[in-house]
Structure 1
């Protein structure tokens, strides 16, 4: 039956949350800056963007909202297997790219690193585990990251887990049960923060299970916001929302991190998602939000290879403050440019090719 063009469902599917795209890009830039600064300031209380790592929790919350928006009304029709294929096509090409870049940086870092300490078998195994998103925290030189050749992949591992749980369970349950799960996950987040003193964990072998608490609450909260239609109409605009988001990242570190960080994750980020989804976007910022949204994932997944080289350079050469500011500023611009190049030359064409193959099979 042909639906009338004024059908609210039709209108809803045409809506695009452009401000949220822009905020995703801002969060990705914050992660990159945080990763530079944590080499310079090993004491988080001295780091002006010492809470930049919370951008990952914001990503998780956004992810829950977007997955609900994109798939709640069609996953039953498309089926679990096709959902998984769609998500792998969307996410995995950059998992591979980040692993390759990380391996190259590990083997050919001009400023240090010790690949000779690890036998070829261990390096090959670590690389394949990185490509397949199988945690393997065995490289001491890389802080026993779950994914030694591309540290940020730890969050993609949990993103995949969340997608699997969504397809098998969350897409079917009623809102009351979703609320209950969200409350249980909130308790888990508070316990992790109190036990560890912060919410920085999840990326390494010893903190592996912290990651499960971080993805569980934020993903569920994002999904709950979408299903409850908790979209707050407001006039913040992209700039206002960006300022509010950035305030979370520059929040001072203190002995109260175990309390302040969960409050940001539990209340502030879900509110920001609701505000970002409900604020209008002025024409002047459309291209900015589109660009930031497009490069956010490529930037997040490709920047860390350079960070190890920067860290080894910083440790061995001890540049002064002026040099440091210049190096970091130029590096961020170059990393954004490189992320854009990876997107245009590799990610978009690969995803287009795989999507076309999938669509042809579905059409048969």
Structure 2
């Protein structure tokens, strides 16, 4: 059964009730963030064909699609009533505090890494450039010991860079497009996903490094546009899957084996499967027993995503030095993931939420 998001009485047909919230989609965002943490632990140890969550990186494409849906949902009916400056302030307040925190955390773990002395190999001038570029979210793939990540101090920030680009494009012109033009752009971007997969030998893992920089553009272009299109077209399917059912569907994609068919399976997941999950998630019914969990996952997902990778560099050094066996690794990954979840919660409570509240109050006074 298909239903439409109901508009406000005093707004156009493509707007929604401002208090409506999609908790199941928040919950799925949290599942995706946890999957990325486990994926990053595993990829340090095992090659893709031995990694049980080898496609965990595709969770980023789910983030991009969900972001397009949420941005369109939150701003479509009011962006015409605000200035570009106001829009950008709102987005900066929402996103940038954790960009800064992740950069500082990455710097501290880089300097005090007990298993690596790479810090000593960097001249002061170069390190300053690395720090400034990370704080300002300017790509600077200049750290060879970190595989020329766009942001060596905060590796996940590469996707935030493209989120910023998508937000800028949304504010400048994407929100003005008709559904027909939006659909055509999405189709064109979908062709780009297929091109990227083919050029990269059947993988959509790029975007995080200087060498694969433009792959990130392709990945954000399709998924963000697809998310926008879902909202603008009111594609909502009511279902009884609930949070558990949709979480299983999400994990099926991320746990998909790494095979010679990646050239087909990965684009299918990004082009069709993830948008379908958004459509189903927006229309699914959430039982009260899972509501608090979904809200928590939604709140913790971004802090977890932006803080976890600093530990991954330390873990990589530890693994290279001590080569723990499978049972030890299992223990480390489980405990490490739980500790990272706890640290993300503390970051949210004592840093992100208070800082955003303060900045929001300041914005209202200016």
TM-score range, shorter chain: over 0.9
**In the superposition, relative to structure 1, how do residues 6 and 174 fare at CA in structure 2: closer, same or farther (>3 Å)?**
closer
Q: Is the 2:8–2:17 Cα contact (8 Å) retained in structure 1?
A: no
Q: Does the 8 A contact of 2:207 with 2:215 survive in 1? A: yes
Partner of 2:225: 220
Aligned to 1:229: 234
2:215 aligned with 1:207: no
Q: Deviations 1:84-127 (Å, cap 9, x if unpaired)?
A: 00000000000000000101111110112411111111111101
Match of 1:14, SS?
coil
Q: Following superposition of structure 1 onto structure 2, how do residues 288-327 of structure 1 map, counting pairs within 5 Å?
A: 288-327=293-332
Q: 1:145 aligned to 2:144? A: no
Say yes or no: does 1:127 pair with 2:163. Answer: no
Distance in 1 (alpha carbons) for counterparts of 2:128 and 2:330: 36
Q: State which drifts further: 352-361 or 47-56.
A: 352-361
Give the corresponding residue for 1:51. 55
RMSD: 1.3
Q: In the comparison of the two structures, how many residue pairs are matched? A: 356
Aligned residues of 1:31 and 1:52 also touching (Cα < 8 A): yes
Alpha-carbon displacement from aligned partner over 1:246-272 (angstroms, at most 9, x marks no partner):
000000111121111011000000000
Match of 2:68 among 61, 64, 68: 64
Q: Distance in 1 between matches of 2:275 and 2:16?
A: 24
Distance in 2 (alpha carbons) for counterparts of 1:82 and 1:152? 26
Q: Which residue pairs with 2:262 in the alignment?
A: 257
> 1:158-237 maps to which residues of 2 (within 5 A)?
158-197=162-201, 198-237=203-242
Q: Is the 8 A contact 2:109 2:310 kept in 1?
A: yes
Q: TM-score, normalised by structure 2?
A: 0.96
TM-score by length of 1: 0.96
Deviation at 1:12, TM superposition (A): 2.1
Once superposed, which parts of structure 1, at least 4 consecutive aligned residues long, lie more than 3 Å away? 5-11
Give the gaps of 5 or more residues in structure 2.
1-6
Unaligned runs of 5+ residues in structure 1 are none
1:81 corresponds in structure 2 to 85
